[in-house]
């Protein structure tokens, strides 16, 4: 009898566990208790604390912690508490679920298009309707007209608040092993012909090396194309004020010729397409690659591969490729992710107060530094973060400073002293004419988006497949014209028209 | 009371009497209700222009727009062809493999060795696809992959497997077999263990050798199981997991590696076009149903064994 009852209890628990897990996966991320502090007795001057629901994208390197100090400072300053959900994976799905169910007051959106899609369907707040309550944000947009063009919707509304500052470290760049180059009296290449010579040289010295490291399918082409004066996709040529499609231009073909040559002679890894970052790091670590095309990795990689003493990477001026090449890296500008606010938020005033504060000088200072005596101290008139924070990443991990949800504007100069001189000099170098002009970030109407989705799906697939085959030598360059006409046949003109229209529309909004 | 006539009892009493059995089956029933039947209502978005914020019912009806869009897209035929090709290759080579392994394991008399082989062969089943694809990529690497090292040891040229489209289907199929061979063997071993030992003894007395007992006793003994698994597998021909194909594919092999599920991911999900994705999934679901019903019908016609 007792056995039976134990058994039944176990089973009951099992069933309950199953049912609850089922429920919790059904409405994940809606752990909010419906409306937060619905007793909105708006007594002015009353220091009541409001709790806002916020959903943030979680960076794997600094996952959200409940005891992050930065949110404590906001509570002290503004009387606003945050209940943060940070979905551990597949953020977009979590966000979709949140829209279908209980939308948080504030959320991080993945990109402008997503914000405009949700905004257009009525789910998000149009900030332009509330500019009277957003004085600091208005001023920020006035001071940064280039930002203003990257946050609009197709009908000139604004559902998307930009992050500003962090994108500075998000630059792509060429780097090279300056120690190895010195050792063998080699000069850093300035053109792709020199690149070829140097790579051959290195291959002789290190026979089992692949001197130039590119990896991860075709992502390396984005930065390489900028050096040939073209672009891996549709782009606007500011000099001629016209839209062009990079992958069918002659300069792009020129680039593919070089890459094909390098592939044939073993100067790039034969499996560069299947390689991921780990294998790329391994190549560098084992002295099997000496020139890299990635982000600004000169400070991180030696630490990751545990060779801080006998390994040095430095910035390399982007080599010029072909007749129309420029010493340029590609740069995306603003971070893709932005902040958005639910249209039906119960705490509109507090939400606006918070986001506007983040755009104010005082707010961005708090978001950048935290609090004196707690996160930083002043020494010889300079602000220095606590000594236990040895890197910018560590500040973010421990305090929540400069993470999604806790900032909109940060001043990157605050963290510059933590980077190496090499890194800081490279940043200056890049900004001084070694960067392709910033491409506009456009807003599309629903019809335009549909065109782009379906046409681009076909064009990109064909494009990537053919480009890969040109590099690998599976397609001969004599078939280039067929490739170009095939791309055109797939509806390139329509796609370009969509970009052109959206671009002119954005310009007309800005000139008003 | 026990020998009263059961169907006279009220159903409450029946539930009371079988409460533990019902409790046992409850999680299973709940699972199917919540995760399999519940979402079925969502199929309607395949016929609508689904808008997240407005919800399923508020979104406008568009009829068969998404279906015709898919069938008229340039990628329709290649994608369908690739899906079928991979599916049939998996069926052709992946279906007999575990049966053969089960028969072999069954012949082994050494218990420890038997266990060892079983364990080793079903372990890969528990590796996630991401890891499996990582292992494949490493082994097949033309730089330092073990397979290429072997090839060059034998004096041949290294092969850049992952960018040669002619290799893609072979790589995918063999990786599937490697991953799931041992796991699929379990059910056949279970079926083998139900065959009456006396039959074997009788056969041996009649002077049958190993081949003859295998052919005349073992195979007929597991035939019903084999058929049912075959019918189920035929229904799964189009259900090729997105993950592994996506992870193993490089742009150079798109012409062989772009299948329905990767297409749905590229055009539907990653662009937030859920209606389109659902329409394509519904389309594949219909094809699968046709397959499974035909396979079932054929099997019943041929030898009377069938699922229903």
Q: Find the mean pLDDT for residues A175-193.
A: 97
pLDDT at site A33? 38
Hey, what long-range contacts does B233-236 have (CB within 8 A, 24 or more apart)? Answer: B233/B91, B233/B94, B233/B95, B234/B91, B234/B291, B234/B292, B234/B295, B235/B288, B235/B289, B235/B291, B235/B292, B235/B295, B236/B87, B236/B288
Tell whether B16 is within 8 A of chain A (Cβ). Answer: no
pLDDT mean across residues, chain A: 90
| Strand A80-85 relative to strand A50-55, pairing | parallel
pLDDT mean across residues, chain B: 90
Report the predicted TM-score, pTM, of the whole model to 2 decimal places.
0.86
Residue B197 and residue B202: Cα distance in Å, rounded? Answer: 9
* Segment B222-256, tens digit of pLDDT: 998 999 999 989 988 888 888 899 999 999 999 99
* Segment A138-161, tens digit of pLDDT: 999 999 988 988 999 999 999 999
Q: State the first-to-last Cα distance of chain B, in angstroms, to the nearest integer.
A: 37
Q: Find the mean pLDDT for residues A370-395.
A: 94
Highest average pLDDT, of A13-17, A21-25, B20-24, comes from B20-24
> pLDDT class for B51, splitting at 50, 70, 90?
confident
pLDDT at site A19? 47
Structure tokens at B137: 């990529």
CB contact under 8 A, B160 and A117: no
Other residues' Cβ atoms within 10 Å of the Cβ of residue A306? 9
Please, what is the Cα angle at B38 between B37 and B40, to 5 degrees? 65
Q: Find the mean pLDDT for residues A210-226.
A: 96
Name the minimum distance, in Å, from the CA of A110 to any CA of chain B: 12
pLDDT at site A42? 42
* Segment A307-334, tens digit of pLDDT: 999 999 999 999 999 999 999 999 989 9
* Segment A28-64, tens digit of pLDDT: 333 333 333 433 444 444 557 899 999 999 998 899 9
Return the percentage of chain B with pLDDT > 90, whole number: 71
The dihedral through the CA atoms of A23, A29, A33, A38 has a sign that is negative
pLDDT at site A9? 54
Nearest-by-Cβ selection for A273 from B250, B266, B273: B250
Tell whether A122 is within 8 A of chain B (Cβ). Answer: yes
Residue A351 and residue A368: Cα distance in Å, rounded? Answer: 20
Other residues' Cβ atoms within 10 Å of the Cβ of residue A6? 10
CB contact under 8 A, A8 and B26: no
pLDDT at site A8? 54
| pLDDT of A109 over the 90 cut | yes
pLDDT at site B6? 53
Helices B274-303 and B219-235 pack at an angle, to 10 degrees, of 150
Nearest-by-Cβ selection for B30 from A4, A18, A269: A18
- CA nearest to A300, candidates A149, A423, A383: A423
| pLDDT of B297 over the 70 cut | yes
Tokens 């504060």 locate to A357
Which of the two residues, A424 and A6, has the higher pLDDT score?
A424
Q: Find the mean pLDDT for residues B182-195.
A: 93
| pLDDT of A15 over the 70 cut | no
| pLDDT of A358 over the 70 cut | yes
Nearest-by-Cβ selection for A274 from B75, B250, B263: B250
Return the percentage of chain A with pLDDT > 70, whole number: 91
Nearest-by-Cβ selection for B251 from A96, A271, A465: A465
**Residues A153 and A505 sit within 8 Å (Cβ to Cβ):** no
pLDDT at site B7? 58
Q: Find the mean pLDDT for residues B23-29.
A: 94
Q: Find the mean pLDDT for residues A398-413.
A: 96
In terms of CA atoms, which chain B residue is nearest residue A12? Answer: B23
pLDDT at site A90? 83
**Residues A24 and A94 sit within 8 Å (Cβ to Cβ):** no
Q: Which are the contacts of A298, defined by CB distance < 8 A and separation ≥ 6?
A: A175, A312, A313, A314, A315, A420, A422, A423, A426
CB contact under 8 A, A114 and B255: no
* Segment A428-440, tens digit of pLDDT: 999 999 999 999 9
* Segment B208-223, tens digit of pLDDT: 898 899 999 999 999 9
pLDDT at site A23? 44
In terms of CA atoms, which chain A residue is nearest residue B66? Answer: A454
pLDDT at site B39? 86
Interface of B with A in 201-260 (CB under 8 A): 250-252, 254-255, 258
| pLDDT of A97 over the 80 cut | yes
Nearest-by-Cβ selection for B254 from A99, A274, A461: A461
CB contact under 8 A, B272 and A15: no
pLDDT at site A509? 83
Return the percentage of chain B with pLDDT > 70, whole number: 97
pLDDT at site B5? 55
Residue A328 and residue A223: Cα distance in Å, rounded? Answer: 8
* Segment B139-157, tens digit of pLDDT: 999 998 999 999 999 999 9
Residue B29 and residue A464: Cα distance in Å, rounded? Answer: 46
Tell whether A214 is within 8 A of chain B (Cβ). Answer: no
| pLDDT of A298 over the 50 cut | yes
């Amino acid at each position: 009898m007792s056995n039976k009852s134990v058994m039944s209890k176990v089973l009951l628990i099992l069933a309950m566990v199953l049912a609850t897990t089922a429920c919790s996966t059904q409405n994940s991320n809606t752990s909010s208790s419906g409306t937060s502090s619905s007793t909105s007795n708006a007594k002015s001057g009353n220091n009541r604390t409001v709790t806002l629901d916020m959903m943030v994208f979680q960076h794997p390197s600094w996952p959200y912690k409940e005891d992050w100090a930065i949110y404590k400072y906001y509570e002290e300053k503004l009387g606003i508490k945050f209940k943060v959900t940070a979905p551990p994976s597949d953020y977009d799905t979590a966000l979709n679920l949140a829209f279908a169910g209980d939308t948080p007051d504030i959320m991080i959106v993945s990109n402008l298009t997503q914000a405009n899609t949700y905004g257009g369907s009525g789910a998000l707040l149009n900030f332009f309707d509330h500019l009277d309550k957003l004085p600091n944000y208005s001023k920020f947009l006035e001071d940064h007209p280039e930002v203003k063009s990257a946050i609009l919707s197709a009908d000139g509304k604004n559902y998307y608040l930009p992050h500003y500052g962090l994108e500075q470290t998000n630059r792509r760049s060429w780097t090279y092993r300056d120690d190895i180059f010195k050792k063998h009296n080699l000069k850093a290449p300035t053109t792709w012909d020199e690149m070829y010579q140097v790579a051959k040289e290195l291959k002789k010295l290190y026979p089992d090396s692949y001197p130039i490291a590119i990896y991860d399918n075709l992502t390396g082409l984005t930065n390489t194309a900028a050096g040939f004066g073209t672009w891996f996709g549709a782009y606007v040529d500011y000099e001629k004020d016209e839209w062009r499609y990079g992958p069918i231009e002659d300069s792009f073909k020129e680039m593919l010729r070089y890459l094909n040559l390098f592939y044939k002679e073993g100067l790039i890894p034969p499996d560069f397409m299947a390689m991921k970052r780990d294998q790329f790091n391994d190549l560098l670590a084992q002295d099997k690659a000496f020139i890299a095309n990635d982000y600004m990795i000169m400070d991180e990689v030696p630490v990751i591969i545990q060779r801080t003493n006998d390994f040095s990477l430095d910035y390399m001026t982007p080599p010029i490729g072909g007749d129309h090449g420029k010493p340029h890296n590609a740069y995306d500008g603003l971070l893709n992710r932005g902040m958005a606010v639910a249209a039906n938020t119960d705490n509109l005033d507090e939400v606006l107060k918070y986001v506007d504060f983040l755009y104010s000088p005082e707010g961005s200072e708090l978001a950048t530094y935290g609090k004196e005596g707690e996160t930083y101290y002043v020494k010889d008139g300079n602000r220095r973060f606590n000594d236990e924070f040895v890197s910018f990443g560590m500040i973010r991990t421990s305090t929540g400073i400069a993470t999604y949800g806790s900032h909109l504007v940060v001043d990157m100069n605050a963290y510059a002293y933590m980077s190496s001189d090499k890194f800081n000099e490279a940043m200056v170098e890049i900004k001084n004419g070694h960067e392709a002009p910033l491409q506009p970030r456009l807003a599309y109407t629903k019809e335009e988006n549909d065109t782009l989705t379906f046409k681009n799906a076909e064009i990109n697939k064909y494009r990537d497949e053919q480009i890969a085959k040109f590099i690998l030598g599976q397609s001969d360059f004599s078939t280039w014209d067929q490739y170009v006409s095939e791309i055109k046949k797939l509806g390139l003109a329509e796609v370009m028209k969509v970009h052109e229209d959206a671009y002119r529309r954005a310009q007309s909004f800005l000139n008003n | 009371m026990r020998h009263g006539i059961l169907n006279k009892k009220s159903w409450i009493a029946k539930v009371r009497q079988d409460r533990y059995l019902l409790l046992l089956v409850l999680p299973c029933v709940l699972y199917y209700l919540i995760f399999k039947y519940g979402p079925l209502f969502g199929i309607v978005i395949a016929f609508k222009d689904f808008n997240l914020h407005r919800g399923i019912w508020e979104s406008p009806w568009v009829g068969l727009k998404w279906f015709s869009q898919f069938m008229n897209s340039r990628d329709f035929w290649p994608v369908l062809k690739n899906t079928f090709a991979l599916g049939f290759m998996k069926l052709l080579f992946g279906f007999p493999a575990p049966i053969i392994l089960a028969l072999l394991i069954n012949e082994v008399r050494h218990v420890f060795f038997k266990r060892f082989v079983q364990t080793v062969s079903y372990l890969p089943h528990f590796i996630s696809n991401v890891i499996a694809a990582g292992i494949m990529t490493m082994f097949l690497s033309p730089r330092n992959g073990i397979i290429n090292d072997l090839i060059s040891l034998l004096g041949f040229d290294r092969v850049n497997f992952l960018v040669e489209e002619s290799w893609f289907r072979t790589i995918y199929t063999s990786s599937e077999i490697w991953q799931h061979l041992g796991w699929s063997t379990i059910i056949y071993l279970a079926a083998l263990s139900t065959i009456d030992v006396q039959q074997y003894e009788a056969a041996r007395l009649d002077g049958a050798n190993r081949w003859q007992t295998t052919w005349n006793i073992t195979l007929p003994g597991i035939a019903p199981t084999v058929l049912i698994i075959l019918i189920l597998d035929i229904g799964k021909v189009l259900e090729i997991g997105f993950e592994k194909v996506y992870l193993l594919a490089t742009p150079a092999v798109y012409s062989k590696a772009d299948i329905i599920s990767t297409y749905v991911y590229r055009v539907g999900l990653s662009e937030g076009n859920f209606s389109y994705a659902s329409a394509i999934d519904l389309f594949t679901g219909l094809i699968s149903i046709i397959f499974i019903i035909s396979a079932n019908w054929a099997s019943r016609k041929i030898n009377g064994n069938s699922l229903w």
